């Protein structure tokens, strides 16, 4: 369902002030020629040290960052060169993002945060609210709907971030270090929720250092990145 072909992402580094002016900027490849094929309804763990390229790769797969070169193919459609308005439709249809530190918006309520990715979908606002409420119920936090983000706990914020990722009912969930700043017990909760999503047919890609994911029973494949390249690709479960 997800195919990436020879993906390179090169960020321009700031010019070194001591460099002679005519030299081009120093460049480094955050992702350095990765090709992968990821099956529908599978769970993949992206591992690797800081700076290995995990966030960049997730963001390219999800159409949030454009690769310098290479192709991203989702359900046989090449999304790499789509104009921004089409790409944003693809993002909404296919992807739910759980960002590092969640990136929830303070000052507005839990339910408003959850509805944000759906605002431009043209959905009836009342139906959208119902959808958000049913997600809150599913995640066992319906009582928090009207709370401001800054007034809920880290574990509750994690659930809100998951609900927000699910609001457009995407088929693929991309989670970037989703448990990095949480009490270890909450990783177990997160794994439980993810395993339900997988049973519901979702495809999940998680970037994490957390060893709990390795033997969680949900991880089917571990892809290890080093310096922007795949250094290991392990199938965990016989399918
Ligand atoms: P990881 O998620 O594995 O920690 P990242 O994808 O965040 O790795 O980063 C990979 C490399 O790309 C790092 O060297 C990082 O400094 C660099 N990088 C990431 N984002 C940017 C950016 N916006 N501009 C310049 N360099 C970046």
Q: Is 52 in the pocket of ligand 1 (CB under 6 A)?
A: yes
Q: Is 54 in the pocket of ligand 1 (CB under 6 A)?
A: yes
Helix, strand or coil for residue 26?
coil
224 sits in which H/E element: strand 221-226
The domain tally of the chain equals 1
pLDDT in tens, 180-189: 877 888 888 8
168/128 Cα distance (integer angstroms): 9
- The pTM of this model reads 0.91
Q: What's the CATH number where 62 sits? A: 3.40.50.300
**Average pLDDT estimate for 191-214:** 92
Quote the percentage of the chain above a pLDDT of 70: 92
> Is the pLDDT at 22 greater than 80, yes or no?
no
Confidence at 239, pLDDT banded by 50, 70, 90: very low
Residue 95, domain extent: 2-235
37-51, 140-154, 210-224: least confident range:
210-224
Residue 103 is predicted with a pLDDT of 92
For ligand 1, atom 6, name the residue with the nearest CA.
Answer: 53
Q: Which of 60, 44, 83 is nearest to 10 (CA)?
A: 60
Alpha helices in the chain (DSSP H): 54-61, 84-94, 110-115, 125-138, 154-166, 184-199
224/137 Cα distance (integer angstroms): 35
Q: Do 181 and 152 meet the contact criterion of CB atoms below 8 Å apart?
A: no
Residue 160 is predicted with a pLDDT of 95
Helix, strand or coil for residue 119?
helix
Confidence at 174, pLDDT banded by 50, 70, 90: very high
Among 53, 68, 101, the mutation site with the greatest number of ligand 1 atoms within 8 A of its Cβ is 53
Cα–chain center distance at 7: 17
The β-bridge relationship of strands 2-12 and 172-176 is unpaired
Quote the percentage of the chain above a pLDDT of 90: 70
10/3 Cα distance (integer angstroms): 20
> Residue 230 phi/psi, 5° resolution?
-80, 120
pLDDT in tens, 77-133: 999 889 999 999 999 999 999 998 899 999 999 999 999 988 876 778 889 999 999
Q: At what angle do helices 154-166 and 125-138 cross, to 10 degrees?
A: 130
């Amino acid at each position: 369902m997800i195919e990436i072909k020879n993906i390179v992402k090169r960020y321009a580094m700031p010019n070194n002030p001591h460099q002679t002016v005519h030299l081009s900027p120093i460049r480094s490849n955050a992702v350095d020629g990765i090709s992968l094929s990821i099956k529908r309804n599978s769970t993949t763990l992206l591992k690797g040290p800081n700076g290995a390229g995990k966030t960049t790769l997730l963001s390219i797969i999800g159409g949030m960052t454009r690769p310098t070169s290479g192709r991203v193919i989702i359900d046989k459609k090449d999304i790499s060169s789509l104009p921004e308005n089409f790409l944003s439709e693809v993002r909404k249809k296919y992807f739910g993002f759980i960002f590092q530190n969640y990136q929830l918006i303070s000052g507005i309520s839990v339910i408003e945060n959850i509805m944000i990715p759906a605002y431009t979908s043209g959905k009836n606002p009342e139906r959208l609210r119902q959808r958000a409420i049913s997600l809150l119920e599913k995640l066992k936090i319906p009582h928090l709907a009207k709370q401001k983000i800054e007034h809920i706990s880290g574990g509750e914020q994690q659930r809100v971030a998951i609900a927000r990722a699910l609001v457009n009912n995407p088929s693929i969930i991309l989670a970037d270090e989703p448990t990095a700043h949480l009490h270890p017990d909450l990783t177990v909760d997160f794994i439980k929720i993810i395993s339900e999503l997988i049973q519901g047919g979702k495809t999940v890609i998680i970037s994490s250092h957390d060893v709990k994911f390795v033997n969680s029973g949900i991880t089917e494949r571990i892809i290890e990145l080093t310096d922007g390249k795949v250094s290991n690709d392990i199938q965990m479960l016989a399918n």
